[in-house]
Chain A
Amino acid sequence: MRVTMSDKRDELNEAEGLARPSRRVVLALGAAAASTVVTIRPALAQTAGSVLNCEIPVPAPEAAGSHISADGSLVPAGTQGAFPPAPRPITGEEAKALLNGGPTPAGMDAEAAQAYTNYIRRLQSGMSGFTCYASLQMPR
């Protein structure tokens, strides 16, 4: 689910430049860094709004007490330049706006909100808030 639609679009467009079937085909092997395999992942994406009214605690209760550094990783409380936990869970709608570069949720500091956004981006399956985050990864 972390492969977003825009990544896939790029790869699809890239691929269109590759071989076209004919009798004796020229086959490009691609640059070493290019990608020729995209795996379809399970999705909740577009349906999520219909099934879920969700919240993301920052950080997850499992890591409560940790602070959040600007890149979204968890660090011990008091770390220089890190932000304290979000004063309340971030709602799905707020997270969606943040991920799209939208407004800072009410009552939050703009820089802290950026750190929270990066934290949300790094969420993984099994962590509180992941289902909510995953559901926001909509193709557009």
Chain B
Amino acid sequence: MAGPTFVADAPDALSHVALESLTAIYHAPSGMTHLLAPPAPQILAALANRPGTAEDVLARIAESFDLETEDAAAAMSARLGELEAAGLVRRA
């Protein structure tokens, strides 16, 4: 399953502020503010300037986290879809 390749903006396009378990981000290219719940910030970090498929992202995140989900592939593609709609990741 190859799936589309995504990429996120360089880290300097975003300002992060942790608000309890959430992350508020200001996305400079759009001027928009988003509130992210995990694993969205981790996905953005995994894709910053580094294109990858959903599988690649899962592998990159698994380097630092234990993943806990029944259908990881479906969940990851849903997360990427949300981030794409918000303009935070794009097709590479």
Contact = CB atoms under 8 A, between A and B. Distances in A.
B88 interface: yes
B37 A26 contact: no
How many interface residues does chain A have, given as a range?
20 to 34
Given A27-B38, A36-B38, 19 more contacts: A15-B21, A18-B39, A19-B65, A20-B21, A26-B66, A27-B67, A29-B75, A30-B79, A31-B75, A32-B71, A32-B75, A36-B39, A36-B82, A37-B34, A37-B37, A37-B88, A39-B32, A39-B33, A40-B34
Interface of A: 11-12, 14-16, 18-20, 24-40
A66 B68 CA distance: 52
A27 B65 contact: yes
A39 B39 contact: no
Given A29-B75, A32-B74, A33-B78, A19 B83 contact: no
Interface in B36-92: 36-40, 42, 61, 64-69, 71-72, 74-79, 82-83, 85-86, 88
Given A29-B75, A30-B75, A36 B65 contact: no
How many interface residues does chain B have, given as a range?
20 to 34
A24 B74 CA distance: 24
A119 B88 CA distance: 33
B17 interface: no
A37 B40 contact: yes
Nearest to B81: A32
Nearest to B20: A16
